[in-house]
Amino acid sequence: MRFIEATTRVGIIYNASLSNSANISMNGTSNQCLCTMLFSSNGTILSFNYNSTSQKCTFFTNYSSIITYQMQADPTSTFYFLQLPSSNSSSLATTTVTASTIKTTTTEALSTAVTSLIATTTVAASTMKTTTTEALSTAVTSSIATTTVTASTLKTTTTEALSTVVTSSIATTTVTVSTLKTTTTEALSTAVTSTLAITTVTASTMKTTTAHALTTVVTSTHQTYVTTGKSTIVTSIFWAFNSDYKDVYNVYNGATTNGATFSSSVGITGYGSALSVPRTSSAYVSVFSPTLSLVNQSFTVAAWVYPTSTMYANDFPILVQCVTGADEKCFQALLRYGVPLLTFYYDDCNGVANFTANKWAHVAFVYDLSAKQQRIYVNGYLDSTHNSSGPYTGLGTSGLFIGGTTELNMYYDGLIDELSVDTRVKSASEILDIATLVLYYSFDSNTLTTDSGPNRINGTSVNAASALSGRVNSAISFQGNSSYFQANGLVLFGTSDLPYSFSLWINPGSVTSGILLFAWKNASWCLPVLGFTSAGHLYTTSKTSHNSTLLNSSSIIPTNVWTHVAHTYAPSTGIRLYINGTLSASSSAFNFSSTSSPISIALANCVNTTLCSCSTVPISMTPYNGLIDEFRFYSRALSATDVSSLANP
């Protein structure tokens, strides 16, 4: 990781990350300075160990042991250090100034244009004493500003309880007096909230303007999105349910009640597990310490669901925050009679799509505060909208409940996987990718086997190498008979009749033979999806219950040139083969026949002799030699417009 000095002389750390033990280590290659910061569970800095030789980290050009530092994160894993004047552990800073004109700026934090609280004060007096105490939000932080002015005896006390997520106080102090004494006490809780206070003092009257009193600043924030003139703090939670109830950021961890366990089979990602919630035992998972308030703000809740029983007479709650059944006081994201429902209690967005038992489906619930609109997406596509009468206004400290709630006496029955909560509105394109982008391998040099899509299905590279001359950045290079790339656990590709597509760039050294994409479960189910014939044509195939459906390109693919290839399938349209964004061949409609279990795929090889002989299609089953880049696999049929966009990056 590298260190950069901010213009405000505050350290910035790029590409850092918090470990499960709540420690962050930073090693600067230029100065070999090692700094370790220890945090409490709510993000407060407990200790800061610096280089014992120099007594400071050089990325703090003015580091002092009597200065308090606060840390703030942004979406790129960049950590900022906010320097706070301090004379003791309670962050008390006292500044005494005597001058005819003095300008003091107290507590300047970085976080581009973070504004939440602006106090403008005008005062004329010979002596002024200002005490500002800021404590932020519900059970975590609150903001109290108290100003005492001695002039014609003026005393002002301002109390600010900061509401919704967006928090940061800004204060600038300009004083024209003979004697000024300022004492600032800042009670800071989360490792992300910046506080700036601006106070202007110039005349015999005092005017205080306070803006932005906005709700709960929760205990931990994983992402901060900054726009010009204002900062929005976005909390992201993600439960993967891979044999534990922990948020992957290790903050919003859950606890089981009445036997919510984990599936014996793999979850939607093809590895790990899913949360198993048996309705008969009234099982659920609760998240209390800390909890996240969804009160008076935008949010997106998304999950993969696999109900295992009939839903026609029951509510299947996915996520709930509710202590009372009253209008706008009870948030529920659930399936009601097999149809998705987003409700704040008598203010409902009713879905249209019917969910089927024993089948995976993706659902997303969105509330847009600015538009006052509820939205439901099913398998990536907008299912319904509802203009609500107002936001959810319940009790934000009441906890989150996954899969059930005793308050409403309703319980889910089946599996839940990849559950996420974000305190922002996710776009339609984001939700579509979350629901349908199964795999995405960019094959960039430092992420050759990393899945850059939402499912984190990392692959395996065998005797393959990174090539710098990719179509987009780097590519993967296959040379020789034993070179290939493999990925496992494609659950949706293993489901019959579901649409799918793949897209990739190829740069072949030869086109007279070679398998490009091969899929299999075992020797009894295999599919040479894409490859070359001995004549240099591309062939693509799919599978019915009786035989394979074949398509071949009308033209020969050139060697040593990048060519974009896409294959799409939907039951109503069959398969379509696109070359460089143009439709090259298509079939009639048919039903795809798969294995009802996760599928493995390989690029550039059919992996072993047994698998290589399991099909008799015209594709040559010899290894492919050449480059491949930007491989994507979708659980939807790409449109011609989608394919054109991928072919013209």
Could you tell me if 542 and 571 are in contact, meaning their C-beta atoms sit under 8 angstroms apart?
Answer: no
Could you tell me if 257 and 283 are in contact, meaning their C-beta atoms sit under 8 angstroms apart?
Answer: yes
pLDDT of 1 > 60? The answer is no
Which of the listed residues 367, 399, 426 is the one where a domain comes to its end? 426
Pick the closest to residue 578 from 530, 621, 536 (CA basis): 530
Are 410 and 472 in the same domain? no
**Lowest-confidence segment of 183-192, 235-244, 353-362 by average pLDDT:** 183-192
pLDDT of 168 > 70? The answer is no
CATH number at residue 449: 2.60.120.200
Residue 188 lies in a domain: yes
Are 275 and 337 in the same domain? yes
Distance CA 609, CA 621 (A): 10
Q: Which residues contact 90 (CB under 8 A, 6 or more apart)?
A: 185
* 18-29 pLDDT tens trace: 333 333 434 333
Query: What pLDDT is attached to residue 362?
Result: 98
Query: What pLDDT is attached to residue 546?
Result: 64
> pTM of the prediction?
0.66
- Alpha-carbon distance values, 160 to 118, 175, 559 (Å): 11, 23, 68
State the DSSP H helix or E strand holding residue 556, giving kind and residue range, or none if neither: strand 548-556
Write b or e for each residue in 545-571: b if 16 or more Cβ atoms lie within 10 A of its Cβ, otherwise e: eeeebebbbeeebeeeebbbbbbbbbe
Residue 372 lies in a domain: yes
Are 421 and 487 in the same domain? no
More confident residue, 17 or 616: 616
Are 192 and 215 in the same domain? yes
Six-digit token string for 167 = 């928090």
pLDDT of 349 > 90? The answer is yes
Which of the listed residues 408, 426, 444 is the one where a domain comes to its end? 426
Are 368 and 258 in the same domain? yes
pLDDT, mean of residues 140-151: 32
Residue range of the domain that includes 360? 236-426
Are 329 and 459 in the same domain? no
Residue 616 lies in a domain: yes
Residue 617 lies in a domain: yes
Task: Please count the structural domains in the chain.
Answer: 4
Residue 231 lies in a domain: no
Are 190 and 266 in the same domain? no
Are 541 and 580 in the same domain? yes
Are 373 and 418 in the same domain? yes
Are 72 and 103 in the same domain? no
* 436-449 pLDDT tens trace: 999 999 999 778 99
Query: What pLDDT is attached to residue 437?
Result: 98
* 513-556 pLDDT tens trace: 899 999 998 878 889 999 998 888 899 999 887 667 778 887 88
Which of the listed residues 226, 256, 286 is the one where a domain comes to its end? 226
Are 285 and 205 in the same domain? no
Are 418 and 269 in the same domain? yes
